[in-house]
Amino acid sequence: MKNRKFLLLFALLLTVGMLLAACGGGNDSQGEGSDSESGSSDSESSESSEESSDFSSAMVTDVGGVDDKSFNQSAWEGLQAWGEEHGLEEGEGFDYAQSNDDSDYQPNLNRLVREGYNMVFGIGYKLEDAISEVAGQYPDTNFAIVDSVVEGDNIASITFADHEGSFLAGVAAANKTNTDKIGFVGGTDSDLINKFESGYVAGAKTVNPDIEVEVQYAGAFDAPDDGKLIASNMYNNDIDIIYHASGATGNGVFAQAKDIKNNDPEREVWVIGVDRDQHEEGAIGDHNVTLTSMIKRVDNSVQQVSNMAMEGEFPGNEVLEFGVEDEGVGLADTNEEAYTDDIAQAVDEWKQKIIDGEVEVPQTHDELDEYLNSL
């Protein structure tokens, strides 16, 4: 299977965008021209517009839901942006199917195909089997899996260097903590979420080898009550920063941090969000408990792959990887009061070391052990 870096993808999309802009400029001129404009030009413009409007794109959420304030929501925002870009309406050109249980994945994918969507995304690695099964049945439909790799001529695999972004989150946490005790809350204990954990622990211990990192998995991405309980135990154990990679389960982590802050405004407790900038989730009165967020541009990837498919450049059977070098992952700096210039400078220094190849961030527990032994 071919592996294409996002930088090449961006260059291709930039070229396509320039061609579209040129065509758009020509159409505008024709619309404003006099009677001397040719009827054939108007006809070509109309045909081109009709072809674009005929293309449709949709997505199937995992159990976290479209409003999980994290991974699925970011994907949906990208699809909405794509629809707005092409003047489409929800349900008429783009849409989503909500999955409330793992058993919903395949029926949702089938339904969207039957409804005529040309491009269908499966949001999250948990849709691997369903995407593989349904894509094999509908070879004329384009599919994409986000955060996993599935082979197939009509399947694009969208991946992110989560470990690299998480390493930077660990650097930020190690530079912010007052207790030298930080935490990590994962959704399910899987290869994917292990990438987040491994990168985070590596980044924190690179800054301070003596820092303590407590790791717990909730076992689900849609269990905010469990997330709140885990966070409560961690904060009670003198941990002052928790990084979550747990979808809607992370909403409980935010809730607990805000409860603590509400009861004791002077106490410093922080959450590091994931997938999208979760600054709003940490707001409580005049305070905000979101230190930063490890952003992965799921929104951009969905929008860009939809455009590629629409323009006949669908990257079938390819793996698209988005990392720190091409801004596919990184940290939000929205909370300027908490995410200070010193922290930002430290993060930027380690980001450059990753880009320059001076640091190879571990992705698994075994790689993490080797990395820590080398410090």
Taking only the tens place, the pLDDT of each residue in 53-70 is 589 999 999 998 999 888
CB 149 within 8 A of CB 319: yes
pLDDT cut 70: percent of the chain above it: 86
Do residues 124 and 59 touch, judged by C-beta distance below 8 A?
no
Q: Which CATH number does the domain 2-17+53-161+298-326 belong to among 1.10.3720.10, 3.40.50.2300, 3.60.20.30, 3.40.50.300?
A: 3.40.50.2300
Query: How far is the C-alpha of 145 from the C-alpha of 126, rounded, in Å?
Result: 10
In tens, the pLDDT along 75-120 reads 999 999 999 999 999 999 999 999 999 999 999 999 999 999 999 9
Q: According to the model, what pLDDT value does residue 327 have? A: 87
Domain boundaries, given as residue ranges, for the chain: 2-17+53-161+298-326, 162-295+328-370
C-alpha pair distances (Å), 116 with each of 109, 157, 310 = 11, 21, 14
Q: Per-residue pLDDT for 3 more than 90?
A: no
Instruction: Write down the mean pLDDT value for the chain.
Output: 89
pLDDT in tens, 328-346: 999 999 999 999 999 999 9
Distance, CA of 306 to CA of 13 (rounded, Å): 11
Identical fold at 2-17+53-161+298-326 and 162-295+328-370?
A: yes
Model pLDDT, residue 6? 43
pLDDT for position 326: 84
Dist CA 237 CA 286 (whole Å): 26
pLDDT value at position 69? 84
pLDDT band at 189 (very low <50, low <70, confident <90, very high): very high
Please compute the mean of the pLDDT values over residues 3-30 and round it to a whole number: 41
- In terms of DSSP H, where are the helices of the chain? 6-32, 39-54, 71-85, 105-114, 128-137, 162-176, 191-207, 224-236, 250-263, 298-310, 341-355, 365-374
- Position 221 scores a pLDDT of 93
Which residues have CB under 8 Å from 234's CB, separation 6+? 183, 185, 214, 216, 242
Which tens digits make up the pLDDT trace of 117-163? 999 999 999 999 999 999 999 999 999 999 999 999 999 999 999 99
Tokens of 7: 């930088």
Of residues 314, 366, 352, 364, the one with CA closest to residue 55: 314
Average pLDDT over residues 347-353: 98
Lowest mean pLDDT among 47-51, 198-202, 245-249: 47-51
Give this prediction's pTM.
0.78
Task: Of 40-54, 160-174, 309-323, 358-372, give the lowest mean pLDDT range.
Answer: 40-54
Q: What is the pLDDT of residues 200-230, one digit of tens each?
A: 999 999 999 999 999 999 999 999 999 999 9
CATH number of this structure's domain 162-295+328-370, picked from the four choices 3.90.550.10, 3.40.50.170, 3.40.50.2300, 3.30.1180.20:
3.40.50.2300
**In this structure, how many other beta carbons lie within 10 angstroms of the beta carbon of residue 299?**
21
